[in-house]
Amino acid sequence: MEDGEEADRGFLTAAMHPHATRWAARTGGLVPMLKSLEESWPHLFAVPAGRLREAARPWVPKDDSEREVEKAYKRATYFVHPDRLSGAKRDLSVCVEAEEVLKLLTTAHGDKSGWFSSGDSARVPPSVSAASASDPKSECPPSAGAAAGTANGTRVGDVETPRGSNANNVRDAVFGQKVEQPGSAGARNPD
């Protein structure tokens, strides 16, 4: 891996880690996490969801049986595995999102007693917090620090995402939305 790509990966990890950790704490245990994957991580699930169209999502358990939860977990890890995404030539930021989501899903899968817990009543497992504290690469620089709530929305890094907007778009929330230059898209050729 080149030094530039490694630096980009470190920056992206530092930016995505707080968002992923908040998602896990807000969502709860494994089953609620599996149910919210597509909505919470649209960059990861746009391609498989598009192929499925209206069919049932394989990463969502059909019922609350242990067998169905295991099957859904295995399918979810298949779709978010970073090696699979990098092999499919997905963007580095999508692969970093996948790494963060996969870490949290794996941690939640290991806590079988908390599989069905929901909301903020479930907290991020201590192993995730401890791993973050011991890994200097996962520490966030001040510009990509933990979000602080605001009256009009949620701050992610230095970007405020208004409530009611598509705040689930992780990359746009962290790095800002791509703005079309006048005359670039939809401009007609006069000839």
Region 22-27: mean pLDDT is 93
pLDDT at 161: 39
For residue range 120-162, list pLDDT tens digits in order.
Answer: 644 444 444 444 443 434 333 333 333 333 333 433 344 343 4
Asked if 119 and 33 count as a contact pair (C-beta separation under 8 A), the reply is no
Region 50-79: mean pLDDT is 93
Residue linked to tokens 């992610």: 156
Q: What is the DSSP string of 109-157?
A: HH-GGGTT-BGGGS---HHHHHHHHH-GGGSPPGGG----B-SSEEEET
**89 or 186: whose pLDDT is higher?**
89
SS3 content of the chain, % helix, strand, coil (to 5): 60, 5, 35
pLDDT at 60: 93
pTM, whole model, 2 decimals? 0.62
pLDDT at position 59 over 70? yes
**171 or 106: whose pLDDT is higher?**
106
